[in-house]
Chains A and B, each alone.
Chain A
């Protein structure tokens, strides 16, 4: 069974870059899609982006100008960079895998989530 673990700073200053890494165990990043999502009490669950192991990416248009997602197959990890953060980017960030079956892309394994607070 695939397991995912997010890591990165829990506190980021406004205007700086939020960087998170997701380490995958029990499976290889050389398959499936690898996602970042976030959750806030106000906006709920928000999908940020995914990357396929080949490097192809798909971004939420509302965040696309500030987001970069990448995969490191040698370390079995994938990463998120979100630039120019503001308090509105304060959220619990999740990494998750997704697969496609019967015409639906679904998120079948999730990390435990990591709270990132944007504050000076």
Chain B
């Protein structure tokens, strides 16, 4: 299985901050990398697919980048509704696998 490692596991930030989190794959996954946001008691919500494509309806303050094995999710100006846990997912090979998550908390 391809292992997905996210860092940091949690971070504290203030409204308006620029936040970047990373996701590393254990092997090259080309562009098969997606990002999700999950709030407590809710299902994950797709933010970014194929490394950098913004899902319809997702604010443009979210952006994704990277290639091969190293990927980033950036929130350009953190909003109150962005405090949540973020997961990366690879769909390059079976089984699809997720990172363990980065929890964004209020500073």
Q: What is the interface of chain A, defined by CB distance below 8 A to chain B?
A: 44-47, 58-62, 94, 96, 98, 101-108, 110-113
- Residues of B contacting A110 in the complex (Cβ-Cβ under 8 angstroms): 43-45
Query: Which of B16-24, B32-40, B72-80 contacts the other chain?
Result: B32-40
Expressed in whole angstroms, the Cα–Cα distance for A60 and B91 within the complex equals: 12
Partner of B50, one of A58, A60, A104: A104
Q: What is the interface of chain B, defined by CB distance below 8 A to chain A?
A: 30-34, 36, 42-46, 49-51, 53, 55, 87, 89, 91, 94-101
- Residues of A contacting B42 in the complex (Cβ-Cβ under 8 angstroms): 112-113
Query: Would you call B34 and A106 a contact (CB within 8 A)?
Result: yes
Minimum distance in angstroms from B29 CB to a CB of chain A: 9
Expressed in whole angstroms, the Cα–Cα distance for A103 and B30 within the complex equals: 8
Minimum distance in angstroms from B89 CB to a CB of chain A: 7
* Given A94-B43, A102-B53, A112-B43, A60-B94 contact (CB < 8 Å): yes
Expressed in whole angstroms, the Cα–Cα distance for A104 and B95 within the complex equals: 14
Query: Would you call B49 and A101 a contact (CB within 8 A)?
Result: yes
In the assembled complex, 24 residue pairs joining A and B whose CB atoms fall closer than 8 Å, in A order, are A44-B101, A45-B44, A45-B87, A45-B98, A47-B97, A58-B94, A59-B94, A96-B43, A101-B49, A102-B50, A103-B30, A104-B32, A104-B49, A105-B91, A106-B91, A107-B34, A107-B36, A107-B44, A108-B46, A108-B55, A110-B43, A110-B44, A111-B43, A113-B43
